[in-house]
Amino acid sequence: METMELVLVLFLLPVAHSVKHSLKYFVTTSPGLQTFPEFVAVSMVDGVEVICYDSDSKTVEPRQDWVEKLIKDEPDHLEWHVNGCMRGIQLTNAVIEDLINTSTKLEVNLCFFIFMFC
């Protein structure tokens, strides 16, 4: 009888499943183009755009309701994302400057770069 009670208790316990998600950051920089922001950063979870930043508006735009709620409930997430974008702008500007300096030595034209952080 004790065995039967133990089996029932184990059967009624909730089961936790681990779920894997992907988080990707796409950063695009395009200095000198008039029709496109100089810097755009997009965060994607499981292939779905969740948040976007561009250097023209200098704002972070949530693309999903749950991200909007997260930012409203925990403003530190918004600050973290904006600070990351500011560091990204500095980094991509430095990389592009180095590439332009290198390209002038090699006589190569550089137009557009896309960086992806996974």
Spell out the per-residue pLDDT of the chain, length 118, in tens: 444 444 444 454 555 567 888 888 888 877 777 788 888 889 899 999 999 988 888 888 999 999 999 989 998 888 888 888 888 888 888 887 787 777 666 555 545 555 544 3
The answer as to whether 43 is a domain residue is yes
- Domain containing 38 equals 21-117
The answer as to whether 94 is a domain residue is yes
**pLDDT of amino acid 117:** 47
The answer as to whether 103 is a domain residue is yes
CATH of the domain at 84: 3.30.500.10
Domain count, the chain: 1
The answer as to whether 113 is a domain residue is yes
**pLDDT of amino acid 5:** 47
**Per-residue buried b or exposed e for 87-102, using 16+ beta carbons within 10 Å of the residue's own CB:** ebbeebeeebeeeeee
The answer as to whether 97 is a domain residue is yes
The answer as to whether 4 is a domain residue is no
